[in-house]
Structure 1
Amino acid sequence: MAAAEIRNVSQAYPMKGGDGPDSYAKNSTYQREAMESVKELVTKGIAEKLDIDLLLPSNVFHIVDLGCSVGPNTFSSVENILEAVLLKYQSQGPMDPQIPEFQVFFNDHTPNDFNLLFKSLPPNRQYYAVGVPGSFYGRLFPRASIHLFHSSFALQWLSEVPKEVVDKNSPAWNKGRIHYLSSTDEVVRAYKAQYAVDMECFLHARAQELVDGGLMVLIIPGYPHGTPLSDTVAYLTLQLIEACLIDMVTKRMVSEEKLDSFNIPMFSPSPQELEAVVERNGCLSIETLKPLPRQTDNTVLNTKLFASHGRAAFEGIIKQHFGEEILDELFDLYRKKLEEELSIVKPRKSTSLLVVLKRKAN
């Protein structure tokens, strides 16, 4: 097997591990609510699009959760998928072959807290559990060995920060900013180009690993074309973290040079951008591509909980770049700014895309 097919060249930005008050395990309810809100759509997609006949005669059904983090969300997703697959088998009638056993592969970067993940495994699960460390932007599994891939709220993370945005000599240098959402056209183009390269790698790897007729069920933060990004929860979160870092530069707690060299490698595509990269791959068909907008009322947001969610998601990457000593001050300041911002009654949109892809037959 060619080394290029299995190499994992991607920077790791794990969610905060452990089970403490600031951990991702304790601060991922927003993601879980979004996943639960699409449970019926995922079940329907599997019922309509999973072709059991193409998957036989395998007596083991392989499911992968890409970007599993530490739980408990991954376990809920797997249970929902397993339940949907069982229903699909049972719907075929009593004359069909025996329902297979299930093996689930939990994948994330090597620094992920796999210890906590496996300590938290449901005791009465109906599957055999395996951990697979590595970047999903490279090959992870043997050819034609996986029946169903799942990923929720992980594919917004790029493999790396676009090189142009931290190059002082580039027109895309993102001086004083930490993301693309309110930046220049050059910065936006650099992020879009990095996204296109990463997704091409992702789809190429999965197309090799899926059996013919196998499915991918993805929930990806994304925006319908024309959505004002300034009204979104993601924009609010990143803008406030950026404002906090600028304040800390003013207080000389963070150097200006450190801020200028820091960018968060996240990108949320439009349906059109996602369609384009799938079409270029050519091995997968889009069975479902559905925007799932949700509106968040500021008056019902728990500021402390929302701030803890932000820390669980972004502490790792901020700690890597700036060091541990600024974290408490930064996220305390973030919480205060969040309280001020949410005192303005302005609903925020949290938008994601439900995507079902199917491996075309060779």
Structure 2
Amino acid sequence: MAQAISPMKGGDDTYSYVKNSSLQRDGLNAAKDMMKEALIQNLDIKKLLSGSTTFTIVFFNDLTANDFNTLFASLPDERKKYFAAGVPGSFFTRLFPCSSIHIAYSSSSLHWLSKLPVELQDKNSPAWNPGRIHYTGAPEAVVRAYANQFEEDMVMFLNARSQEIVGGGMIVILMPGVPDGVLTHDVGIALTFLGSILMDMVQEGLLKQDQVDLFNFPHVYPSVKQMTRLVEKNGCFEIIKMEQRNARTNTEAPIDIESAIMHLRAFTQESVANHMGTQIVDQLFTKALQQKSRFSYMLYSSGIEIGVQLFSLLKRK
């Protein structure tokens, strides 16, 4: 049984993704100038726009259950230079007509798997992952199962985009990433922390062990080497830039642990609720805030750089 991929917390209340996505905003801001410069240098604007209409259409894509209302409510009232449209569906499949997209942009999304590896649901599999909800700190078989699923997903993603993007068009990808040879990312540590709170709740009799054992979070954080290999395997894109960056505006500033837990809640609570019931969500994150010193220790004792993202700029051949 594969776990459904759940949307972010919608709306604009205290726990919504909109109110708790400053990390994603910082990641975009950190890469904005580099992105602009690279697009100007590598796009043949005259060629791309030859024969096209004089207006621009901006397509927004997300899963069908995600919150398009908040997105469109945030757009400017007057949009004279472009038209906006929402295209619901998984980006692991085709979304647009052939050769219809000049610039594609994927932000803080591609690290989500299309589904969980089936091995994680089999108690007799080497990739059975009891007491954990992610591959961070897990045995090699679990790590490999996640990596294999990510590779399958990247094959689908790049194949779909290769059909949609015009020759000479570009795709920009921002996502959490790790240095070559490293597995641990701070988001993975956050998920490990959340798993430890869930196990506390098992010990207290508030959850059953199987509820945690069967719950794994569908995130993978690739390295430059891993992404490069997958893009080259696809063969349809030239790598213009592929590098590791830091999304934080001030890497020396201490992490606001309470804000980090709020961010963790925004992108996990729908998955938790779907798997374990809505009744445990408030209790889970109340306990997480009470144990924020544990999260802080886990982050700072890991020895990793916090806030690392992978920046990829690919050009359709």
**TM tier relative to shorter chain:** over 0.9
Which position in structure 1 is the counterpart of 2:281? 327
Q: What is the letter of the counterpart of residue 323 of structure 1?
A: G
Q: Comparing both chains, which one has the higher relative contact order based on Cα–Cα distances under 8 Å and sequence gaps of 6 or more?
A: 2
Listed one character per residue, the Cα deviations across residues 181-228 of structure 1 (whole Å, up to 9, x for unaligned) are: 110001111011000000000000000001111100110211111346
Out of 179, 188, 198, the position equivalent to 2:134 is: 179
Question: What's the CA shift string for 1:227-266, capped at 9, x where partnerless?
Answer: 462xx42133111101010011111111111111110010
Measure the CA separation in 2 of the matches of 1:115 and 1:341: 33
Aligned partner of 2:171 in structure 1 is: 216
Displacement of 1:51 in angstroms is 1.6
Cα deviation for residue 294 of structure 1 reads 5.3
Segments ≥4 residues shifted beyond 6 Å: 295-299
2:211 to 255, 258, 264: 258
SS of structure 2 residue aligned to 1:301: coil
Contact 1:10 1:135 in 2 (8 A): no
User: What residue number does 1:240 align with?
Assistant: 193
Note if 1:286 corresponds to 2:216. Answer: no
Which of these residues, 45, 58, 73, is aligned with residue 52 of structure 1?
45
Q: Does the CA contact (< 8 Å) of 1:12 and 1:111 recur in 2? A: no
Q: Which residue of 2 aligns with 1:24?
A: 17
Gaps of 5+ in 2: none
Map of 1:154-173 to 2, 5 A cutoff?
Answer: 154-173=109-128
Q: Partner of 2:77 in structure 1?
A: 123
Q: Map 1:1-362; keep pairs closer than 5 Å.
A: 11-60=4-53, 100-125=54-79, 126-227=81-182, 229=184, 232-293=185-246, 300-342=254-296, 346=300, 348-360=305-317
What's the counterpart of residue 71 of structure 1? none
Q: Structure 1's 198 and 228: CA in aligned 2 closer, same or farther, altered over 3 A?
A: closer
Quote the sequence identity (%). Answer: 40
What is the identity, as a one-letter code, of the residue corresponding to 1:333?
A: K
CA distance in 2, matches of 1:221, 1:11: 21
Q: Which runs of 5+ in 1 are unaligned?
A: 1-8, 61-99
TM-score by length of 1: 0.81
Question: Which whole-Å CA distance do the structure 2 matches of 1:148 and 1:114 have between them?
Answer: 21
Change in 2 beyond 3 A, CA 1:223/1:251: same
The residue identity in structure 1 corresponding to 2:315 is: K
State how far apart, in whole Å, the 2-side matches of 1:338 and 1:58 are. 57
Contact 2:136 2:183 in 1 (8 A): no
CA-CA distance at 1:274 after TM superposition: 0.7
**C-alpha deviation, 1:299, in angstroms:** 6.4
Q: For the Cα contact (< 8 Å) 2:101–2:169, is it kept in 1?
A: yes
Q: CA deviation at 1:297?
A: 6.3
In structure 2, what is the Cα distance between the partners aligned to 1:255 and 1:306?
A: 27
SS in 2 for 1:240: helix
CA contact (8 A) 1:54 1:212 kept: no
The count of residues paired between Structure 1 and Structure 2 equals 311
Query: What's the Cα RMSD here?
Result: 2.1
Verify the 8 A CA contact 2:57 2:85 in the aligned structure 1.
yes
The Cα of 1:302 is off from its aligned counterpart by 2.6
